[in-house]
Each structure stands twice: as structure tokens, then as C-alpha cells.
Amino acid sequence: MSVLIKNGTIITAVDEYKADIYIEGERISAIGENLSMKAEKVIDAAGKFVLPGGVDQHVHYSFDYKGEKVRGFETTNAAIAGGTTTVIEFVNQEPGKGIAETIEEYDRIEAAPQAMADYSFHGVICDPSDKVFEEIKSLPDKGISTVKLFMAYKGLPFHSNDESIFKALKASKDAGVTVMVHAENADVIDVLQNECLGKGQTEPYYHAVSRPVTAEVEATQRAIHLASLAGAPIYIVHVTARKVMESIREAYNGGIGVYAETCTQYLVLDKEDLAKPNFEGAKYVCSPPLRTKEDQEVLWEAVDKGWLNAVSSDHCGFNWKEQKHMGINDFTNIPNGCPGVQDRLAILWTYGVEKGRISRQKLVDLFATTPAKVNGLDHRKGHIGIGLDADIVIYDPDHTSTISNETSLHGVDFNIYEGFQQIGKIDQVLLRGNMVLKDGKYVGKQGQGRFIPGMPFGLCYGDKK
Ligand SMILES: [Zn+2]
């Protein structure tokens, strides 16, 4: 199959120019003005922007919170509808099994048969034996270049102590595996949660009260110190607040290899959403919690200046009616996490680009290019360039609509961005040259998404091919 995209304006992380794109098979084979190749399919992108498909490095399709399971890979068409052509899933290591073994099984049974977007994996360390730390060294051979540890969630199977994090950092650095951490102080939160419950403070709002910014700051700084002691880089996921970002910026400026993302919801929502009546607030329960409007502005500046280098969705598809209601009498039983994989581009465009907070190039950088690099996928993903996968989003900027759960494909009964304005719309999406979204409608099929191996850090671009 050959495709010629004519007359569009290409946006990359570094530039913007009018050119045609010629795709042969699954890859981009030529970019230039007035390309005249014969193609089986011609797309006229006049008046539209042409972006690389998004890479969402933080999604949960297998997460389990106190026995409640999220919607899985059967809903990855929501990623495509949101212009995200690659998702990176956190797979919790099963006790007694290796990281790679758990991931291979999950891939075979869940991901490969159902995926509608391309995908890669982070291994989440849950069973921290010496065998597992030894295993980290061979993970890149299996296309896994990242592991994650949770400093939060005391008492849940995926919680890790400092010993585990330090050992993981030491094992990962020579293998080129990036360690990611969810940084919140689990012990402090446990005490504060019990204090709230003891006072009868059971509503969703107390989720935010019991997880103060300082608990995130403390864990972030501790993680940075552990990384520094191990001589390894570290990646902090979902940064929510000014003081956390400042800790990271200061360490980075001091020469430590610390990198971090924020997530869409922290840019446009705040903790007052948790106070919505009739248990509506439960919809917004994610960890760390939503913060303040002032933090939102700080985070926008931070992503613009590069102090935080990616915006992920932290997509987590729990239903409100059956699942979030588990915590109707106790906020600690509300499954943590919000859906959002479909709305990341719309929010970044509408509230970032259109409000003058970030440029279109910066949007592409945060949405696709840097997440591809962080996870060793930039040999194929995150950029419009010759030889790379033809993952393309055609964006029509002359359109205004409202985000609604009625048009969300995530299989969940609510949308945290319900009623938000959306400027522009995603017209078409190509996944490795295949049309998977046409005129805004999903037209791909289950099982079309492929596993993309993540390369270890420390290799130069040419080595990755
Ligand atoms: Zn997450």
C-alpha cells in the first residue's frame, strides 16, 4: 500500500513547513514539495496540520486496585481517536514470576489479540527478589527498557521500599534501563488517611487532603537522592505541583539525571473537582491528587520551558457507577485513576496552543517526540521523518466542539473533561500507513496494534535501527 499526503503543514518538535509525505508500506519514504509519485491512496491535507502520532508513555490497561480491574486493550481505539498511535502499558509483575515472563503472558493473552494502537511495556516490580534485580539486566533483550516502582500505596502489592528502588537503580544503569517512580510518601499518607477516616472524613475530597504536596516533594527528593547514590538516571512520573517540579529542576541543574512528566489532568483540573456533590468527586480520584489552579499555571510553564519533558494521560478506565462507588463510605476504597487517553491532544491543543502557553512544536515534543525518546522508541516513533513508521495525525484546526463521554471510546461511564471546549479536531489517523481513523470515525480493527521493542538508553540513533 502506498499513500501520498498532499498540501498539509507538517509539525515536528523543531519545525513547521508545508510539504507532501509519501508512504510506502508502513514507513515514510519521502517528504518534499509537490511530490509526484503515484500512490494507491491520496489524502488532501490542505488547510490542515500533519503531526506525528502521539506516544502516551503512561497508560493502565491491566491495573487492578483492591480487586477492581480497569478496561483493557479492547478499548485502545480510544487512543487512536485521540491521535495516540503508541501506548506504553505498565504491567505489574506477578508474584513468583519474572518481569519478562509476566509481560510476555499479558502480551499474548491480552495485548496482541486486541490492540488497536501500537504498544510497548514498562515492567512494574512487585516481587523484589534478587532474582528480579538480576533480571533487569536482560530486559532490553526482550524489548523492555523501563521499569517502574511505586513509592506510594502502603499495603498494596505494588508498593516498593527504598531498598528495592535503590537495588533497581543499581541494576538498571549499566543495562540502559530507565527506572520510573511514582513518588509519594506511603507511610505519611497511610497515617493521614487513617486520621481522616477516624474523624468521619470519608468523602472523595479527603483523598486530596490525605495526600499533601509535601508527601510528593519528600518522595521525589528521596528518589532523586537514591538515583544519585546509585549513579543512575531516574524518571519521575505524574508531577503535580510547583514544589515537586522545583525539586526536580534544582537537581537537574545540579547535574543529576532526573527527568519527569506531568499529566493532562494536572494541567486543567484542580482539587475542587473532588468536592463535587453526590459522589461526583470520586470521578477525579487519581494519585497523586489534583492540586490547585496556581499549580496548573506552573506546570504549563514547566512543560513549555522543558523542566518537565512530557505530558501523559495516566489513562485508567474505572467505571464510576460500579467501581468508583466501592469507596462511597471510605475514600481510600475508591479505585485510583481517571480515563483520558482520548483527550490528551485536544487538551494540549485547546488549552496549551490556542491559549498561547505552548507552541505547536512544543505540543508535538510533549505529545510524541520526547515520550518516544524516553522509552527508546524513537527509532520508529514520535517524529515525522524518512524511514520512521508512518504514524500520522491530520488535524483540522478550524473546528470547535465540546468534549463529551458520548463520543469517548474508552468504555467508561464518564469523562473528566466533560463539557471542556475542544478547538480543532482529529480528521484522520494513520497507523504504520494504515488508515485507522477516517473523518473522525475509528475504522481500524482489533489486533492491528503491534508490540514495539523499546531500546535501552545509551545507544546512539544509528545503533537502534
Ligand atoms: Zn499511573
Confidence of residue 465 (pLDDT cuts 50, 70, 90): very low
pLDDT of amino acid 95: 87
Cα(22) to centroid of ligand 1, in Å?
A: 37
Give kind and range of the element (H or E) at residue 16.
strand 16-24
- Between the CA of 20 and the centroid of ligand 1 the distance, in Å, is 37
Instruction: Compute the distance from residue 349 Cα to the ligand 1 centre, in Å.
Output: 22
Residues 338 and 367 occupy one common structural domain? yes
Question: Which residues pair with residue 394 across a beta bridge?
Answer: 50, 428
Reported as a single tens digit per residue, the pLDDT across 433-456 is 999 999 999 999 999 999 999 999
Q: How many Å lie between the centroid of ligand 1 and the Cα of residue 429?
A: 25
CA of 313 to the centre of ligand 1 (A): 8
Which band of pLDDT confidence, cut at 50, 70 and 90, is reported for residue 314? very high
Strands 2-11 and 16-24: antiparallel
User: How many other C-beta atoms lie within 10 A of the C-beta of residue 44?
Assistant: 12
Both 342 and 387 in one domain: the answer is: no
Whether 433 is covered by a domain: the verdict is: yes
Distance 293 CA to ligand 1 centre (A): 21
434 and 359 assigned to the same domain: no
pLDDT band at 459 (very low <50, low <70, confident <90, very high): low
pTM of the model: 0.97
Asked if 439 and 77 touch (Cβ cutoff 8 Å), the reply is no
Same domain, 167 and 293: yes
- Report the pLDDT averaged over residues 348-362: 98
Looking at the predicted structure, is the pLDDT value of residue 426 above 90?
A: yes
User: Does one domain contain both 345 and 375?
Assistant: yes
Ligand 1 midpoint to CA 404 (Å)? 23
CA of 224 to the centre of ligand 1 (A): 19
pLDDT band at 65 (very low <50, low <70, confident <90, very high): confident
Q: Domains in the chain: how many in total?
A: 2
- Distance, CA 59 to ligand 1 centroid (Å)? 6
| Average pLDDT, rounded, for the chain | 96
Strand partners, 90: 122
- For position 458, what pLDDT does the model report? 73
Residue 376 CA, ligand 1 centroid: distance in Å:
19
For ligand 1, the distance from its centroid to the CA atom of residue 41, given in whole angstroms, is 39
Q: How far is the CA of 371 from the centre of ligand 1 (A)?
A: 15
Residue 454 lies in a domain: no
C-alpha 148 – ligand 1 centre gap (Å): 10
DSSP secondary structure letter of residue 270: -
Same domain flag for 92 and 138 = yes
Neighbouring residues of the ion ligand 1, judged by CB less than 5 Å: 314
The pLDDT, as a whole number, for residue 157 is: 86
What is the reported pLDDT for 461? Answer: 41
Which residue segment(s) compose the domain that 265 sits in?
A: 63-381
Distance separating alpha carbons of residues 189 and 157, to the nearest angstrom:
16
Q: What is the mean pLDDT of residues 378-405?
A: 98
- For the chain, percent of residues with pLDDT exceeding 90: 95
438 lies in some domain: yes
- What confidence score (pLDDT) does residue 334 get? 97
Q: Report the pLDDT averaged over residues 61-76.
A: 94
Give me the amino acid identity at 455: M
pLDDT band at 111 (very low <50, low <70, confident <90, very high): very high
In terms of domains, do 197 and 248 share one?
A: yes
> How confident is the model over 31-40, as a mean pLDDT?
97
Question: Which is more confident, 325 or 462?
Answer: 325
pLDDT, tens only, 325-340: 999 999 999 999 999 9
* pLDDT at residue number 105: 98
Condensed to tens digits (0 to 9), the pLDDT of residues 128-179 reads: 999 999 999 999 999 999 999 999 999 888 899 999 999 999 999 989 999 9
Distance of CA 194 from the midpoint of ligand 1 (Å):
23
Domain identity same for 242 and 180: yes
Specify whether 82 is located in the same domain as 22. Answer: no
The closest of 294, 235, 285, 296 to 263, measured between CA atoms, is 296
DSSP letters, 111-142, are: IHHH-SSEEEEEEEP-S--HHHHHHHTTGGGG
Mean pLDDT computed over 279-288: 98
Q: What pLDDT sits at residue 83?
A: 98
How far, in Å, from the CA of 214 to the mean position of ligand 1?
A: 19
CATH of the domain at 137: 3.20.20.140
State the average pLDDT over residues 365-394. Answer: 98
Distances (CA, A) of 422 to 47, 82, 398, 406: 18, 12, 11, 14
pLDDT of the residue at 460: 43
pLDDT reported for residue 158? 87
CA proximity to 56, closest of 107, 147, 99, 120:
120
